[in-house]
């Protein structure tokens, strides 16, 4: 039975990914420090689902404090999902969390991975934030990244580290640039979660700027499917892929859809545009389709309805 590691396993995407692997009969070692960037109780809920599987082993620790040489023995795939997330929180005196958790933590694993013979794939979870305000829409992977947030800078730097370890030591890396992932278990600092919660608790939501910004939204099961494809496709090694949902949507249109799903209008409060937020994101996923066979399946209305059901159960 193959053993695979998922870092950030208590988080939104990490927990879904680990659950899918366990359902497929894989042995999973999950690693997470369960920090307090958002409510640790939500992470514990995610973990409780995984801990029902006998093939799941959980290690609660800081990535940089682990013996990775020992951990990686006989491991075939590492899905490195752990990161300090959040564009707006990456300014100011908390920036060291981003350098430590996004850059240094990635380097520690890569350094150990160069000695491991069993490792077939190191899948790095990157982000559309590396593009910043891209001038080409939809944005292909060949565009020069120009992050507009400190968060995006650290994620891009870690992605570059992956290529260095691939080129110099043959570590079999693949990077996936996620475009706004949503769905059940979404972090509470992310827009849809905040919107649904505000509707239940009846307070206004903050819309940054004019609400005409666009995003490419990706349902979590599609992001998980991309990881599995990236881990098994030989042509994925040394490549970076955009992972989007296949449709670019204006924020105000999304809000109208949310109003329809919850059956009443959200109270909206327009505030100043946030520093570090890209105005538009749109994924050109033709490379992922061609090489990985990636094909996003969940439409935005369908995905939003699933997230709404989950949020209702939470609050």
- What the block records as the tokens of 267 is 């109270």
* Bond prior to 138 in cis (omega within 30° of 0): yes
Inter-residue contact 171 to 116 (CB < 8 Å): no
Helix/strand/coil for 298: coil
Tokens encoding 68: 């990775």
- pLDDT tens, per residue, the chain with 315 residues: 889 999 999 999 999 999 999 999 999 999 999 999 999 999 999 999 999 999 999 999 999 999 999 999 999 999 999 999 999 999 999 999 999 999 999 999 999 999 999 999 999 999 999 999 998 999 999 999 999 999 999 999 999 999 999 999 999 999 999 999 999 999 999 999 999 999 999 999 999 999 999 999 999 999 999 999 999 999 999 999 999 998 899 999 999 999 999 999 999 999 998 888 999 999 999 999 999 999 999 999 999 999 999 999 999
**pTM of the predicted protein model:** 0.97
For residues 86 and 76, what is the distance between their CA atoms, to the nearest angstrom? 30
- One-character DSSP codes across 127-158: EGGGT-S-SSSSBPTTSPP--SSHHHHHHHHH
Place of tokens 């023995």: 73
**Parallel/antiparallel/unpaired status of strands 173-178 and 214-216:** unpaired
Q: What's the rounded Cα separation, in Å, for the pair 185 and 219?
A: 11
Q: Which residues are catalytic?
A: 151
How far apart are alpha carbons 228 and 233 in whole angstroms?
A: 9
From 25, 112, 116, 98, select the one nearest 65 (Cα to Cα): 112
- Matching residue, tokens 């105005």: 279
- Residue whose token pair is 């570090």: 276
In the chain the domains, ranked by start, together with CATH numbers, are 3-181+220-244+282-296 (3.40.50.720)
Give whole-number Cα distances, 45 to 32, 197, 201, 224, in Å: 13, 18, 21, 19
Residues 313, 315: Cα–Cα separation, whole Å: 6
What b/e sequence results for 82-114 when a residue is b if at least 16 CB atoms lie within 10 Å of its CB, and e otherwise? bbbbbbebbeeeebebbbebbbebbbbbbebbe
Q: Please give the pLDDT value at position 171.
A: 98
Nearest CA to 295 among 215, 237, 228?
Answer: 228
pLDDT of residue 2: 85
> How are beta strands 27-32 and 214-216 bridged, if at all?
unpaired
Q: Contact 56/22 with Cβ under 8 angstroms?
A: yes
* Polymer length of the chain: 315
């Amino acid at each position: 039975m193959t053993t695979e590691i998922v870092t950030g396993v208590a988080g939104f995407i990490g927990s879904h990914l680990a659950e899918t692997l366990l359902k497929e009969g894989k042995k999973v070692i999950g690693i997470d420090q369960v920090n307090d960037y958002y409510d640790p109780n939500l992470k514990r809920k995610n973990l409780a689902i995984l801990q029902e599987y006998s093939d799941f082993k959980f290690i609660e620790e800081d990535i940089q404090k682990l013996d990775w040489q020992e951990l990686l023995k006989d491991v075939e795939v590492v899905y490195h999902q752990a990161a300090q997330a959040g564009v707006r929180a990456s300014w100011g005196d908390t920036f060291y969390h981003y350098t430590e958790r996004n850059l240094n933590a990635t380097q520690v694993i890569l350094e150990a991975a160069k000695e491991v013979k069993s490792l077939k794939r190191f899948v790095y979870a990157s982000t559309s934030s590396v593009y910043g305000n891209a001038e080409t829409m939809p944005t292909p992977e060949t565009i020069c990244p120009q992050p507009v947030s400190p968060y995006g800078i650290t994620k891009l730097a870690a992605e570059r580290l992956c290529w260095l370890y691939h080129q110099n030591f043959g570590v079999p890396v693949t990077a996936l640039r996620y475009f706004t992932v949503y769905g059940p278990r979404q972090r509470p600092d992310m827009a849809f979660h905040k919107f649904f919660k505000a509707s239940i608790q009846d307070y206004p939501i903050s819309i940054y700027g004019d609400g005409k910004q666009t995003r490419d939204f990706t349902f979590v099961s599609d992001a998980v499917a991309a990881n599995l494809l990236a881990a098994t496709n030989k042509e994925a090694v040394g490549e970076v892929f955009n992972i989007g949902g296949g449709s670019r949507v204006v924020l105000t249109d999304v809000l109208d859809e949310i109003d329809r799903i919850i059956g009443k209008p959200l109270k909206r409060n327009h505030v100043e545009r946030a520093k570090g937020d890209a105005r538009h994101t749109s994924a050109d996923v033709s490379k992922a389709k061609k090489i990985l066979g990636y094909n996003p399946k969940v439409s935005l209305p369908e995905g939003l309805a699933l997230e709404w059901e989950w949020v209702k159960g939470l609050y």
